[in-house]
Copies of this chain bind each other. A is one copy, B any other.
């Protein structure tokens, strides 16, 4: 049983109550705040030494990444982050200065986005460091963006450039909080997700929850310089397009808007965020499935983000 199958099993019949608007299965849980026009958002995420960072990763970058991943999920709901709790599980022998620098990295990012760090705990994990962060946020009820709202003929957009995040970006990215709130405030965004598993995988989450399909255009997919450099440097590396489709940890925003909003959005975006690329990469289709169109025609994209060329 893989992780996705396990999660599907575990989340099938979880206890719920009157507070829950959206439980497991979106970027954040959405809860009634007791106020008429706002919802609470709740998210947790963990990074593990040897998996999400290496023993030689700089401490500040570990702290930054641990919090930034959670913030990216709040961004995916067009939310505002409020407060974080930090659990650090440490090997028996740890360097207090290293741990302090992890907190410095987290605190700097938190301060930039107005997030309070309100506690947490330290515990022991003898073999490796593990950091689990939980984050409370909120969002206006009518602005909260789920994965489930995409509609046939919607235009699909993605921010930034994709692929090759492991070279550096996964430790340094700035979560797209202000971009996401600007989108929700100025356009009718139908569905949004942050890219953590890779474009193809994360788009599939939108398609699955919106009960739609999509066709994306290979020429329009913004490929990062890191993915291109890597393909050139290593003959065994993924071709750049494949990296952009399947590499994880891009932490960009993937969203859909009505096709008639596509051009006004691109125009307004250029004025608002002149330094951040926004690409229209395809359209939502009523027919299920994820298809890739290139100069040779249309192919089906299969399974966890990887393209199986026939």
Contacts and interface: CB of A to CB of B under 8 A. Distances in A.
Interface of A: 1, 3, 6-7, 9-11, 13-17, 19-20, 23-25, 29, 31, 33-35, 38, 40, 42-46, 48, 50-51, 82-83, 85-87, 89, 96, 99-100, 103, 107, 110-111, 114-128, 130, 132, 134, 136, 138
Given A16-B116, A24-B117, 17 more contacts: A9-B96, A13-B107, A14-B117, A16-B117, A17-B83, A20-B118, A34-B138, A40-B136, A42-B85, A42-B118, A44-B120, A44-B134, A46-B132, A50-B126, A51-B124, A125-B128, A126-B128
Contact of A116 (B14, B25, B35): B14
B19 A116 contact: yes
B10 A42 contact: no
Contacts of A45: 87, 121
Nearest to A37: B34
Give the number of times this chain occurs in the complex, counting copies. Answer: 2
B42 A136 contact: yes
A136 B130 CA distance: 22
Nearest to A117: B14
Contacts of A130: 89, 125, 130
B46 A83 contact: no
Contacts of A127: 126-128
Nearest to A109: B15
B44 A85 contact: yes
The 8 A-B residue pairs with the shortest CB-CB distance in the complex, in nearest-first order = A134-B134, A29-B118, A24-B119, A132-B132, A44-B85, A14-B117, A127-B127, A23-B118
A99 B13 CA distance: 14
B125 A125 contact: yes
B9 A111 contact: no
Nearest to A23: B118
Most buried by B among A14, A119, A122: A119
